[in-house]
Structure 1
């Protein structure tokens, strides 16, 4: 005799049968058009592709901010590359990483053996940090927006008073 299953388990099984995952062999953009809403995996894939395109701009003219951002992220989060340190091999066309990937910084340490480099993916490290600090990041964003709105309100009030005074004396 089969044991009775809880009703919740039956509902969960039914939901799993109805909500099938898209075929990942298809182009992500085609799946997005079919379903109308991106999954977390699709969002992660797009973000990683864009970040890898950004790696190609590392240490190029006019991109000092991007170069500094990657150096700071890799040093602070103790990671290397978007997915791993091999992302940099395509950028430099050789087995090399930026010095910010090194566990112990020294000049040209990115040319040495992979044993001296961080192995973790920066994308996952930063994503986990954002998830862990989502409340703080959200509060910071709201406070920044509030300061902007208050500043605009005061600026508009001062402008209206100046126009009113100018009209009065004219």
Structure 2
């Protein structure tokens, strides 16, 4: 296969080429940002996954990471294809972008799953906290509950009385505690024995605060995913226009 030694380009083709090159560069940057958001979600915001009975929350983050990788690869291929003006490479870019557009339903998952997670929390959070807290083999749940109650300044699922049904609180291992020490405004050893409002977050349940936290985070993930999908549509249009404007490569 040989290259054309002379190419006649119209002003429109030249403008389209540079526009697509700039577009793909920012597309690559956007892919890196999307992947970073997904990675950040998995690394920093996944502590409460053990409190949920499904993997919907973590699945949305994984989808974001994969989408970010696809977008970054598309951006790199797009820059190379535009710079070298190779129709074969543009075909590959068009395929990658098309796959990205087809991922739009996956980007909508966070918005749909927020309703599912709300129902899931209301049905399962209290049971998870009271049945699995301090249970052997459920260390992730114990750590998540303690962090939840301290970070959101709450106690129990609906309120502190939920802990009266706790397997651990009823056992001798609780040493007379009425609530876990993580319910205390100032944590000291055995502070959970005293359930006075001055000592614990007595009326603040965790379910509403956790629900709001997860829904807000899923909205961010969903907005990022949908934005990238929209950008991919424009990318596909620009790529097709440049593809049609280039002459076929001789063989």
TM-score under structure 1 length normalisation: 0.51
Residue 136 of structure 2 aligns with which residue? 61
Residue 103 of structure 1 aligns with which residue? 185
| 2:163 is the alignment partner of 1:88 | yes
The CA distance in 2 between the partners of 1:137 and 1:104, in whole Å, is 34
Q: Which has the higher helix share?
A: 2
* Mapped contact 1:99–1:108 kept (Cα < 8 A): yes
Report 1:36-47 matches (<5 A).
47=121
Distance 1:49 1:69, change over 3 A: same
| Deviating more after overlay: 107-116 vs 90-99 | 90-99
| Post-superposition offset of 1:125 | 1.0
* Equivalent of 1:121 in 198, 201, 205: 205
The CA distance in 2 between the partners of 1:108 and 1:95, in whole Å, is 7
Distance 1:50 1:135, change over 3 A: closer
| Post-superposition offset of 1:43 | 7.8
- Structure 1 portions without partners, runs of 5+: 1-39, 143-170
| Post-superposition offset of 1:57 | 0.9
| Post-superposition offset of 1:130 | 3.0
Distance 1:101 1:129, change over 3 A: same
* Mapped contact 2:133–2:142 kept (Cα < 8 A): yes
Q: How many residues align?
A: 103
Larger relative contact order (Cα-Cα within 8 Å, sequence gap ≥ 6): 2
The alignment yields a C-alpha RMSD, in angstroms, of 3.0
The CA distance in 1 between the partners of 2:221 and 2:200, in whole Å, is 29
Report 1:1-170 matches (<5 A).
47-55=121-129, 56-91=131-166, 92-93=169-170, 96-115=178-197, 116-118=199-201, 119-138=203-222, 142=225
TM-score under structure 2 length normalisation: 0.36
| Post-superposition offset of 1:64 | 0.4
Distance 1:138 1:65, change over 3 A: same
- Structure 2 portions without partners, runs of 5+: 1-114, 171-175, 226-251
